[in-house]
Amino acid sequence: MSETRETRLTGVAASDGVAVGKTFVHTPGPLTPDRETIERGSEKSELARFDEAVKIVVRKLTETGESLTASGNEKEAEIFEAHIEFAEDSELRDEVEARVKSLESPEAAVLAVGEEFAAMIAAMDDEYMAARADDVRDVASQIAAELIGCEAAGLEALDRPSVILAKSLAPSDTARIPKGKALGFVTAEGSKTSHVSIMARSMGIPAVVGVGEILEETLGAETVAVDGTEGYAVADPGPDTVSEFEAKAEEVATENAALEEFKNVEGRTKDGTRIEISANLGSAKEAKDAIAYGAEGVGLFRTEFLFMERDELPTEDEQFEVYKEAVEAFGEKPVIFRTLDVGGDKDLPGVEQPVEENPFLGWRGIRMCLDVPGLFKPQIRALLRAAAFGNAKVMFPMVADVSEVVAAKKVVDECRAELEAEGVSFGDISVGVMVETPAAAVCAHVIAPEVSFFSIGTNDLVQYTLAADRGNEKLEHLQSADHPSVLRLIGMTCEAAKDAGIWVGVCGEAAGEPDLMPKLISLGVTELSMSAPRIPRAKKVVSEVLYRSRFLTAQYTHATHRLPTSDRRERRET
Residue spans of beta strands (DSSP E) within 68-116? none
The answer to whether 1 and 239 are in contact (CB under 8 A) is yes
Residue 90's Cβ-side half-sphere holds a number of Cα atoms within 13 Å equal to: 4
Cα–Cα distance for residue pair 76/58, rounded to 1 Å: 16
In this structure, are residues 344 and 359 in contact, taking their beta carbons and an 8 Å threshold? yes
In 150-241, beta strands by DSSP E: 162-166, 182-187, 207-209, 223-227, 232-235
Distance CA 398, CA 498 (A): 22
Q: What share of the chain is helix, strand, coil (3-state, %, to 5)?
A: 50, 15, 35
For the chain, the distance separating the N- and C-terminal CA atoms, rounded to the nearest angstrom, is: 37
Nearest to 173, CA basis, from 356, 24, 378, 342: 24
How many Å is the maximal CA-CA distance in the chain?
83
Q: What is the rounded distance in angstroms from the CA atom of residue 306 to the CA atom of residue 313?
A: 8
* Closest to 525 measured CA to CA, from 281, 276, 290: 276
Closest by CA position to 142, among listed 69, 56, 82, 35: 56
Q: Which residues are catalytic?
A: 195, 507
Write the single-letter amino acid at 17.
Answer: G
CA dihedral of residues 53, 58, 59, 64 (deg, nearest 10) = 130
241, 234 Cβ separation under 8 angstroms: yes
User: Over 338-356, what HEC string results?
Assistant: ECCCCCCCCCCCCCCCCCC
Residues 449 and 500: their CA atoms lie apart, in Å, by 6
Q: 494-522 as b/e, with b when 16 or more CB fall inside 10 Å? A: bbbbeebebbbbbbbbbbbbeebbbbbbb
